Structure 1
């Protein structure tokens, strides 16, 4: 059963990495230029929206974190630490980092989505114009990247659930937060 869980976690991490890298690339390389009045060029880029710039950083760091976790899980057992203390601390560290990664990626995607909705609809009170009438390809590509980011968040939620399972199965079901005896 443990081997099946490890394979599922590795598969989920690989899919999360691919979705996070795809999100970062789609946002980071997205720009569109329009010529207005046959001599003025206007360019829309991800750098125009602060939330999209932060999304590129967040997804890149989350992909690197998942790649690091994937490579650490494939290390031999003697590299992971065999003492009782490290066997307790490492699952807790992994659980906390997986939880933090999920929350940060989801928050970054949600902030970028909120910012993108202002770009789609515009806001007359702030004199923000509707960009998507002029830069359609830019908006479609940002929408696709946000969808990839939310799929990555979903995969990372399952990863965090697996790390929670791996952590809490070390503890006794009858005594609160007492480690199970080694069998």
Structure 2
């Protein structure tokens, strides 16, 4: 039971950081007057990687919330069939792995776009965006930090999921199920 509660705590932390990431990126905008009456507004729609980050962080938060609902509605330990329990544990382990890698990849892609916005790219004649829209860039930076923290928590979830899965197998032989104890 203590193992389940530690996984619940880590999932809740991951959900909090994923929601913070998605909400900070989605709500971030800043408007500047460039020339007299010409206004330019910076939003997350300007960079495709930020839009993808919002979608993926939202989907990962929803996935972790659904996993929490499954734990509280129908705990896996109460299932009668060991085969069903093993298949569900494999399925959850693979989904946890996919969620970690996709979230980390989306964060890294958004970080690359943010670095180009911060430093500019002289070869392509892209100017530094963060010189004009500093508040926007600071908020995106905080959101990316929260996204990486969420990725760390999701990696912990994946480790706990792997432990939960591989405790079904015997330590003496490779991927052989433990024999039932009377």
Please tell me the TM-score bracket, short chain as reference: over 0.9
CA gap of 1:77–1:142, structure 2 versus 1, over 3 A, is closer
Offset, 1:178:
1.5
CA drift of 1:88 comes to: 1.3
Q: How many residues align?
A: 181
TM-superposed deviation, 1:150: 0.2
1:56 is matched with 54
Residues 1-54 of structure 1 show CA distances to partners (whole Å, capped at 9, x for unaligned) of xx1211110000001001000100000111100012331101111000000000
- TM-score in terms of structure 2 length: 0.95
Structure 1 unaligned blocks of 5 or more: none
Alignment of 1:12-91 (within 5 A): 12-77=10-75, 81-91=79-89
What is the CA-CA distance between 1:110 and the residue it aligns to?
0.5
**What residue ranges of structure 2 are gaps of 5+ in the alignment?**
none
1:180 deviation in Å? 1.2
TM-score (norm 1): 0.95
1:111-131 CA-to-partner distances (Å, cap 9, x unmatched) read: 100110000000111121101
User: What is aligned with 1:127?
Assistant: 125
Deviation of 1:77 after TM superposition, in Å, equals: 4.5
**How far apart, CA to CA, are the structure 2 residues paired with 1:11 and 1:35?**
45
Root-mean-square deviation (Å): 1.4
Which residue pairs with 1:9 in the alignment? 7
Distance 1:150 1:7 in 2: 23
Q: Which runs of at least 4 in structure 1 moved beyond 4 Å after TM superposition?
A: 77-80
